[in-house]
Amino acid sequence: DAGITQSPRHKVTETGTPVTLRCHQTENHRYMYWYRQDPGHGLRLIHYSYGVKDTDKGEVSDGYSVSRSKTEDFLLTLESATSSQTSVYFCAISEGQPNEKLFFGSGTQLSVL
């Protein structure tokens, strides 16, 4: 998957607990993105990053925060997980122009009970 590693691959957690998902890339690409995928919806952008310490909100950012302290790592944190955040989360990377030719990781299946 284009040198992208997401961890964990699966996680079950309880409502109200904090959760951090990690995306690690070995491609040295500038742009990184977090998406969620739910039945009945296309991929929806949560947050994105245009470089180290340069992040911004996407379409569905409420309840999520991100950090990018190194080019290769982009962390997604659910401060207090809710059942509506049960989803499959994908990290993506791209180079060149933002929002062009994104390459995706294998995803994290998160269940919030």
Q: Which is closer to another protein, CB of 1 or CB of 27?
A: 1
- Segment contacting another protein (CB under 8 A): 14-22, 36-44, 63-71, 76-84? 36-44
* Distances from the Cα of 104 to the Cα of 5, 32, 37, 59, 82, angstroms: 9, 10, 12, 18, 25
Label each residue of 51-79 as H, E or C: ECCEEEECCCCCCEEEEEEECCEEEEEEC
Asked if 47 is part of the footprint of another protein (rule: CB under 8 A), the reply reads no
Kindly state the smallest distance separating residue 91's Cβ from another protein, in Å.
9
Kindly state the smallest distance separating residue 72's Cβ from another protein, in Å.
18
Tell which one of 102, 110, 112, 113 touches another protein (CB under 8 A).
102
Asked if 16 is part of the footprint of another protein (rule: CB under 8 A), the reply reads no
CB-neighbour burial class of residue 75 (10 A; exposed 0-12, middle 13-18, buried 19+): middle
Write out the residues near another protein by the rule CB under 8 A: 1, 4, 39-45, 59, 90, 97-107
